[in-house]
Each structure stands twice: as structure tokens, then as C-alpha cells.
Amino acid sequence: MAYDLENMLVVGVASSALFDLSDADTVFRDHGEAQYREYQEAHIADALEPGVAFPFIKRLLSLNDLSPDSKPLVEVIVLSRNDPETGLRVMRSVAHHDLPISRAIFMQGRSPYEYMGALNMSLFLSQNEQDVRVALGMGFAAGQVLGLPAADPNGRDLRIAFDFDGVLADDSSERVMQADGLPAFHAHETEHLEEPLPEGTLSEFLRGINRIQDIEEALAEAEPSYNRRVHVAIVTARNAPSHERVVKTLKSWGVRVNDAFFLGGIEKARVLRVLKPHIFFDDQLGHLQGAADEIPSVHVPFGVINEAKV
């Protein structure tokens, strides 16, 4: 019987997002593919250190123990530009770190993001900006990891934070903001308060997270002392009166978050350092740079904010 991905939360992760490949990448850039292959073969027994996305992926996979029927809730698949031979070090590192990842696609010099649809993926994480942009252009949810490899203190909880416009929602309201300014933006959002925004690239990923949270809600109902492990927050530059459309839009989509921070121009890094998400998604680099070396960050280069860089 075929392994069914249809009801799982499936995430694709490039080896560059999962592990710290900086030394190997330096060899590749400075000396070319042949020496890179020799370097990877010589170091095949040396486990790669965790990369930016490692804590998020590790904790996401740990949620499989919530499954009521032992069928995995989460599947993570490595998508790599390595060929199968040089990819051996990646998979040995997966085993070294006890990550329950057994599936991978290795395509020499090419990114396998085009297989996301076939594998029911709702998210692709990579350090390669061009791969992420192309994947987004094909309609897939993708983001570029930024900053230093993240520390992973003890604990079992998973904290995920999203920007709203251009990430969970499309950028139609952001276009009003960029074209006409803040007063016009607030007026537009008030006028269209009852009109849900179109869904953005990461809305399906949030739905998958919500399905896992539904299981936790049932556990908490059965046992009030149960400590919920998954927490989702929105951290957005919106503030009143444009905040209300966010709440109504999420409700209309049938999704939810636990917390919302409507910051109205306050630097997001101030909140993120307290919230300490295991991953934070934003479409604006300026909102990520302030905390990227402390908070595992993902740039979603989607929409009007990022069009000039295409």
C-alpha cells in the first residue's frame, strides 16, 4: 500500500536550511564542484551542525507523538541540490541528530522544488534565494532562511510567528499602502472590513498547524492540566483600525492564531526577542534584520515589497 501524504502536514527543507553548510559552500565557491565532492567524501563521517531551520524542524517532527492512531501527522522531506553521492553526508547527519527524516530528493545542481505539488508540501525552506523566488512564482509556499544557526534550548513546545500581509494573506492591502500611504491604507481597510482578504502563500501551512492544534484542544478538554505545545502568533505592523480586518479574515478562512501583536510601526524585533519563536515568517527584510541573528527567520519574497528585486 502506498504511503499516503494527503492528510499530513508536509514540509520540504533544503539541506542548506536544515544544516550549517558554510564550510562546504566555501569549498564549492572557491574551488569548484570537483573539490567540493572530495571535501564531502573526506568529511562524510563528520556530522553537520544544526542550521537555521533545525530547531523548528526538530520540534515540528516531535509533534508526531500526538497522533491518535500512530499515523504521522508531520512529514519532512529533504530537497537538495546535492547529487545522491554527496547527499550521503546530509542523510548521515540527519541520523546523527536523531531526526525522523527518511525521505529525500537529491538533484545535482538543480532544486527539486517543482516536486512540491506532487508531494503535497505546504512549505519549502531553503537558503537559496533564487530557488525560493522561483518556487513562489510557481505558486508554492517557500521562504529563505536568514541569520545564524539557531540555538535550541530544552523544551518540547513549538512557537511559530507570522507576519500577515504578503505571508498569510496576499499583498492587495499592502499595494494600497505602498501606493497611497498609511491614512489611505487605514481608510481602505475600514471600508473593506467585512471583505476577507485573499489567502496568501502560507495559509495552507497554518491550516496544517491548526489541525495539530485541534488534537491538542481535544487532549486539553479531556485533561484540563494538559500543557499545549503548539503556539501560533501574528506579529504585524498593522494597528487599529486596520487590525480588525485581520481577525475577521482569519475567521472567514477557518483558521486561527493564539496571539496577535498589532505593532503599528514598533520594531518587531522588540517583541520577537520576548516571544522567542522557533521560526518567524515575514515578507519584508527590514522587519527580519533586527533579530535574525537571535530569532530563526524566514524571508518570504512575495508581493509588491519584493517585486523590484526580481
- Write the CB contacts of 274 (distance below 8 Å, at least 6 apart in sequence): none
163 in active site: yes
Q: Are 166 and 176 a contacting pair, CB within 8 Å?
A: no
Q: Provide the CA 266 distance to its chain's centre, in angstroms.
A: 23
Cα(296)–Cα(51) distance, integer angstroms? 9
Could you tell me the CA-to-CA distances from 246 to 118, 147, 160, 197, 253 in Å, in that order?
Answer: 31, 28, 17, 8, 11
Residue 286 exposed, middle or buried by CB count within 10 Å (0-12, 13-18, 19+) = exposed
With cell 494573506, the residue in question is: 169
Cα(307)–Cα(164) distance, integer angstroms? 18
- Write the CB contacts of 98 (distance below 8 Å, at least 6 apart in sequence): none
DSSP 48: P
Catalytic residue among 25, 46, 131, 163: 163
Cα(284)–Cα(166) distance, integer angstroms? 9
Residue 255 exposed, middle or buried by CB count within 10 Å (0-12, 13-18, 19+) = middle
Q: Are 276 and 159 a contacting pair, CB within 8 Å?
A: yes
C-alpha cell at 158: 513549538
Cα(194)–Cα(191) distance, integer angstroms? 8
Could you tell me which residues are beta bridge partners of residue 261? 235
Could you tell me which residues are beta bridge partners of residue 74? 9
Give the active site residues. Answer: 163
